[in-house]
């Protein structure tokens, strides 16, 4: 007989589980796009959205193998754990500068706490657990009680260590990193203990936490951070959002994936146990965003503003095309003055961008096109456009003429700078070189595992080490691209082709930009890993598959499978590469999807100057023509 109450509960639980990620992504999107300066200042700008949404979806096959335990393998998922932890760590550095010192102190104390708590859940602590399991208390409840008591003590120690000498509540506007570290450790401990109490390890399934209990720790952490923000972050209450995210993510990581993981090892057949393995549905991933959303609600309920939190992070430079679009939209809404101002900014940014791309020194503010190889009328048009912006016209016809002028100037600036952008052919060659650099050692590893695995193809495909090597290739290839671009501003393949990665200020991209621009390559790396590993498997296990008759001819089944996998590999990489090349071809600044998300360019190492002479302000300009202001 169906229990209506249980059926209703199950429907609600499944609905919440499915809709929760979309709702949390919506909160992250609204903050990053509607309150961009505020979001950037707390470390949750648009790059965080791209990394946590499409990036985590693309990274489903990117696992970083850590080590074998018994006959199992332990790995960490980029989608469900590494990306959320990186976003939280970078945001934490803004709340508690300097980042490296504060983060190292936080992680050092957390490592000590984790080691002590891990001892309490291992068999060596069984006598203590048995001693507590008296008076009708179960063994599991005794273990939960032991972990909770230890966490309370360690959190109290953290508060004492990091709040010592702060002199009570910080003065308005002061920033005390020790206070932030101590509070974050205490918040992490609270989430850790409550998550450990609500979760359970099921061999063959993983670590499970039932609805609605998994919602309570992160929501409580977010609301608590927002409520205490005025005391912990006086004048910088917006930091409650990233701290709630960071503390909740680490708390769930330790309370569930670390402390509940040991009982899974050595139980049943060999398995690949992955921290954050459920990707965007994993507790580590969901809990951080849930705490962030709860702190966001607390921020709203407290009536706080969305002003940027000091120290204010520099915003990404606006694009000339984007400013031109703002001008057009303002004109359509009847805001002529705003339209003309945006048009003036668009043409000025086009000139500044051309200077950066051509490695020319910045022009004077009143002569943005000076020094560029442009005709004299360009300077006159810019002067007329600037004058119109200062005058604040109200006639829509003036606004439309200003937009047309800015459009021509933006196109001119693009033509000057486009010579610096890498061609599709050179970018494809550079990527194939990089792909070859990471594929060759992977083929060696796959081959070694294949030759040392006895049995047939099924035995090889079920080998945990072989599967770990497939997933690990995606992770290591991704890290190869990210770290090389972050450290030296280019990858070995791009360097050989004379290319480099730069942001809109022509500086090497930082870690967030490198992460975001390369997550769009994860599908290609995944296809390469699956196709390459299977090709090796079929090549060396061909004799175990027997023969297959085609048109009356007996052919080795392994050979046909090998040819099919090679076709999948070449076709998959070719198709994804063609889509990327198409995006590069149709974008104004030759950017693929990752570059559009990260605001980066792939440029030639040295510019190719146009065969023309720079404009001279003293040259008498031509009379205004069509599309130019008069």
pLDDT band at 550 (very low <50, low <70, confident <90, very high): low
> Which of 419, 452, 470 is the endpoint of a domain?
419
Whether 4 is covered by a domain: the verdict is no
In this structure, are 413 and 436 located in the same domain? Answer: no
Higher pLDDT, 172 or 555: 555
Residue range 582-626, pLDDT digits in tens: 999 999 899 999 999 999 999 998 876 555 555 544 444 444 444
> pLDDT at position 268, please?
67
The predicted model gives 198-222 an average pLDDT of 88
In this structure, are 89 and 155 located in the same domain? Answer: yes
Whether 593 is covered by a domain: the verdict is no
In this structure, are 17 and 80 located in the same domain? Answer: yes
Alpha helices, H only, 164-270: 177-198, 216-227, 229-232, 240-252
In this structure, are 100 and 22 located in the same domain? Answer: yes
> pLDDT at position 68, please?
83
> Which of 301, 331, 351 is the endpoint of a domain?
301
How much is the mean pLDDT over the chain?
88
The predicted model gives 504-529 an average pLDDT of 95
Look up the domain containing 199 and give its range.
Answer: 12-301
- What are the tokens at 75? 């790995």
pLDDT of 168 above 80: no
Whether 7 is covered by a domain: the verdict is no
Dihedral sign computed on CA atoms, order 256, 260, 262, 263: negative
In this structure, are 247 and 332 located in the same domain? Answer: no
Residue range 279-323, pLDDT digits in tens: 998 999 999 999 999 999 999 999 998 999 887 767 778 899 999
- What are the tokens at 159? 């508060």
Count of domains observed in the chain:
3
Whether 5 is covered by a domain: the verdict is no
Residue range 323-382, pLDDT digits in tens: 999 999 999 999 999 999 999 999 999 999 999 999 998 888 888 999 998 888 899 999
> pLDDT at position 365, please?
84
**CA 385 – CA 51 distance, rounded (Å):** 39
- Phi, psi of 548, deg, nearest 5: -135, 130
Whether 308 is covered by a domain: the verdict is no
In this structure, are 336 and 404 located in the same domain? Answer: yes
> Which of 367, 386, 419 is the endpoint of a domain?
419
- What are the tokens at 232? 């912990």
DSSP 145-170: HHHHHHHHHHHHHHHHHHHTTS-SSP
The predicted model gives 436-452 an average pLDDT of 96
* SS3 category, 1: coil
Whether 415 is covered by a domain: the verdict is yes
Let me know: does 324 contact 343? Beta carbons within 8 Å: yes
**CA 315 – CA 185 distance, rounded (Å):** 30
* SS3 category, 554: strand
Write out the H or E segment, with its range, that includes residue 72: strand 72-77
Whether 496 is covered by a domain: the verdict is yes
In this structure, are 259 and 274 located in the same domain? Answer: yes
The predicted model gives 488-506 an average pLDDT of 95
> pLDDT at position 485, please?
96
Number of H helices, E strands in the chain: 25, 9
In the chain, % of residues over pLDDT 70:
91
In this structure, are 55 and 134 located in the same domain? Answer: yes
Higher pLDDT, 69 or 471: 471
Other C-beta atoms lying within 10 Å of the C-beta of residue 312: 12
In this structure, are 273 and 353 located in the same domain? Answer: no
Other C-beta atoms lying within 10 Å of the C-beta of residue 607: 16
In this structure, are 74 and 202 located in the same domain? Answer: yes
Q: How many angstroms separate the Cα of 301 from the Cα of each of 32, 229, 288, 306, 517? A: 19, 13, 20, 13, 36
In this structure, are 145 and 255 located in the same domain? Answer: yes
In this structure, are 153 and 279 located in the same domain? Answer: yes
Let me know: does 182 contact 90? Beta carbons within 8 Å: no
Residue range 174-204, pLDDT digits in tens: 347 899 999 999 999 999 999 999 998 887 6
**CA 464 – CA 299 distance, rounded (Å):** 46
The predicted model gives 511-536 an average pLDDT of 95
Let me know: does 285 contact 222? Beta carbons within 8 Å: no
Whether 455 is covered by a domain: the verdict is yes
**CA 241 – CA 233 distance, rounded (Å):** 11
Please state which of the ranges 106-115, 309-318, 359-368, 383-392 shows the lowest mean pLDDT. Answer: 309-318
Nearest CA to 248 out of 209, 290, 199 is that of 290
> pLDDT at position 547, please?
59
pLDDT of 524 above 70: yes
């Amino acid at each position: 007989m169906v229990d209506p109450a249980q059926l209703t509960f199950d429907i609600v639980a499944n609905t919440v589980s499915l809709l929760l990620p979309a709702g949390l992504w919506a909160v992250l999107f609204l903050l990053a796009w509607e309150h961009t300066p505020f979001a950037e200042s707390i470390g949750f700008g648009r790059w965080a959205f791209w990394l946590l949404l499409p990036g985590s979806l693309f990274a489903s096959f990117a696992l970083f193998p850590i080590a074998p335990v018994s006959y199992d393998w332990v790995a960490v998922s980029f989608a469900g754990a590494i990306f959320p932890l990186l976003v939280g760590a970078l945001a934490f550095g803004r709340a508690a500068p300097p980042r490296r010192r504060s983060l190292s102190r936080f992680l050092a104390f957390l490592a000590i706490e984790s080691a002590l708590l891990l001892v309490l859940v291992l068999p060596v602590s069984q006598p203590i657990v048995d001693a507590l399991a008296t008076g009708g208390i179960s063994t599991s409840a005794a273990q939960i009680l032991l972990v909770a008591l230890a966490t309370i003590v360690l959190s109290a120690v953290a508060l004492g260590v990091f709040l010592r000498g702060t002199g009570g509540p910080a003065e308005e506007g002061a920033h005390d990193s020790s206070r932030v570290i101590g509070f974050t450790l205490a918040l992490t401990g609270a989430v850790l203990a409550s998550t450990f109490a609500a979760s359970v390890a099921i061999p063959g399934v993983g670590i499970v936490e039932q609805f609605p209990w998994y919602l309570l720790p992160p929501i409580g952490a977010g609301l608590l951070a927002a409520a205490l923000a005025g005391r912990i972050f006086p004048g910088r209450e917006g930091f409650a959002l990233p701290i709630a995210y960071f503390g909740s993510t680490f708390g769930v990581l330790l309370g569930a994936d670390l402390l509940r993981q040991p009982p899974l090892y050595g139980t049943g057949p060999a398995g690949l146990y992955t921290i954050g393995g459920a990707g965007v549905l994993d507790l580590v991933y969901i809990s951080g965003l849930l705490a962030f959303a709860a702190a966001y609600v607390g921020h709203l309920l407290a009536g706080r503003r969305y002003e940027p939190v000091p120290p204010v992070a520099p915003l990404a430079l606006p694009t000339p095309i984007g400013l031109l679009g703002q001008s057009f939209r303002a004109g359509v809404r009847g805001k002529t003055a705003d339209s003309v101002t945006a048009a003036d900014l668009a043409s000025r940014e086009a000139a500044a961008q051309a200077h950066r791309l051509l490695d020319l020194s910045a022009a004077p503010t009143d002569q943005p096109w000076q020094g560029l190889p442009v005709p004299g009328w360009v300077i006159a048009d810019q002067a007329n456009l600037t004058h119109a912006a200062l005058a604040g016209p109200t006639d829509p016809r003036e606004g439309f003429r200003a937009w047309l002028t800015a459009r021509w100037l933006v196109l001119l600036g693009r033509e000057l700078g486009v010579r610096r952008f890498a061609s599709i052919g050179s970018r494809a060659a550079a990527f194939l070189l990089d792909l070859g650099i990471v594929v060759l050692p992977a083929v060696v590893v796959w081959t070694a595992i294949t030759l040392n695995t006895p049995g047939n193809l099924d035995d090889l495909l079920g080998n945990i080490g072989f599967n770990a090597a497939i997933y690990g290739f995606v992770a290591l290839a991704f890290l190869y691209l990210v770290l090389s671009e972050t450290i030296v501003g280019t990858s070995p393949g791009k360097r050989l082709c004379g290319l480099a990665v730069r942001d809109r200020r022509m500086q090497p991209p930082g870690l967030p930009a490198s992460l975001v621009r390369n997550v769009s390559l994860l599908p290609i790396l995944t296809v390469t890993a699956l196709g390459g590993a299977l090709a090796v498997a079929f090549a060396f296990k061909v004799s175990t598959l027997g023969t297959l008759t085609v048109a009356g001819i007996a052919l080795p089944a392994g050979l046909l499978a090998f040819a099919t996998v090679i076709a999948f590999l070449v076709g998959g990489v070719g198709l994804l590469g063609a889509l990327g090349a198409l995006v590069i071809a149709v974008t104004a600044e030759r950017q693929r999807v990752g570059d559009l998300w990260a605001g980066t360019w792939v440029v030639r190492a040295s510019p190719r100057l146009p065969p023309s002479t720079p404009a001279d302000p003293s040259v008498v300009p031509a009379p205004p023509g069509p599309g130019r202001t008069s």
